Amino acid sequence: MDRLRAFMRARRLAYRTEETYCRWIRDYIRFHNMERPEDLGAEQIDNWLCHLACNRSVSINTQKTALNAVVFLYRQFLRREIGQLSFTRANKGRKLPVVFSHDEAMRVLSLLTGQSWLAASLMYGAGLRIMEAVRLRIGDLDFGESSLTVNEAKGSKARRVLLPRSLVNPLQNQIDMVLALNRQDRIKGFGSIYMPGVKSSNSTHSSPGLLYLFPADRPAFCPQLQVTRRHHIREQQVRRAVARAIIKADVKKAASCHTFRHSFATQLLAAGTDIRKIQELLGHSNVKTTMIYTHVIGTHTEETHSPLDNHIQ
């Protein structure tokens, strides 16, 4: 595993990808009673993937991630072809996303404070994923065009999205705080800024636009570049705050941070926004992914009534 991690870091894989792949590869090895992967092949990979689908009931995307991990292990690291696979694919059916009503979303937001409130407001107001929100940098904001650019997005697919006018003043106050904090960091010697793809651990960018919009409470050690610097806040910090707010708001739904993004899409669709425009704002590669929100809204209207209510005058 140490050699595998070193191999991943030499190829500049994202740290999150590194952690995910290593976790699934360990799971694969343990499933086969700690046998060396070099002694296993397509049949053993099939058995493990079938186990994930049939016994552990993982989702389709989770099984795909697990498959990507072992494919990387064999093809990239071990330089071996794994042959034809014939595993049982996970299939849990279509599940409609949970969404907030506008009233519910505002109730939850009203119970948040500080950076958690601002990050959640961007998830609802701009349709951001939680990691896209916490990874925003000052330079991603364009107040003149009332837009923001999501550069560190899922799949490295940058896009421009809406910048809610109601967040302009809070965002400007946040920027002032970030700049003041960075000045203090530079005095203490850990003011360098992380940039994806930059290999130098001593890189100290001077542009304030590269500073994270949501800085962490304290500096941390970067295991990839062996340097101490201030990163962005962890998404778990926002997740926990939102989870507490949902309970306090008495929302009886299986909601989470991602519910804000779903709610953004359904609110736009209900207002008559073109589905292709919503696809672009959400950063979906295929419009079929965006079409799921048409099922959330449904085809019923105020003029359609249940037959059970026909007797009601």
261 part of the active site:
yes
Catalytic residue, candidates 135, 230, 232, 284: 284
Catalytic residue, candidates 129, 137, 229, 230: 129
Q: How far apart are CA 100 and CA 51, in angstroms?
A: 35
Residue 210 burial class via C-beta count within 10 angstroms: exposed 0-12, middle 13-18, buried 19 and up: middle
240 part of the active site:
no
DSSP 8-state class, residue 234: P
194 part of the active site:
no
DSSP 8-state class, residue 20: H
The structure tokens listed for 229 are: 């610097």
Residue owning tokens 């993004």: 261
Catalytic residue, candidates 11, 23, 154, 240: 154
Candidates 179, 184, 114, 126; CA nearest to 150 is 126
Output the CA–CA distances (angstroms, integers) from residue 139 to 160, 212, 221, 277, in the order listed.
13, 9, 24, 24
SS (H, E, C) 134-190: HCCEHHHEECCCCEEEECCCHHHCCEEEECCHHHHHHHHHHHHHHHHHHHHHHHHCC
Q: Taking the CA of residue 84 as centre, how many other CA atoms within 13 Å lie in the half-sphere pointing to its CB?
A: 1
The residues near 89 (Cβ < 8 Å, ≥ 6 apart) are: 53, 60, 63
21 part of the active site:
no
Q: How far apart are CA 35 and CA 163, in angstroms?
A: 52
Output the CA–CA distances (angstroms, integers) from residue 234 to 112, 239, 241, in the order listed.
16, 9, 12
Catalytic residue, candidates 64, 107, 239, 258: 258
154 part of the active site:
yes
3 part of the active site:
no
Catalytic residue, candidates 229, 230, 231, 261: 261
SS (H, E, C) 68-125: HHHHHHHHHHCCCCCCCCCCCCCCCCCCCCCCCCHHHHHHHHHCCCHHHHHHHHHHHH
Q: Which residues are catalytic?
A: 129, 154, 258, 261, 284, 293
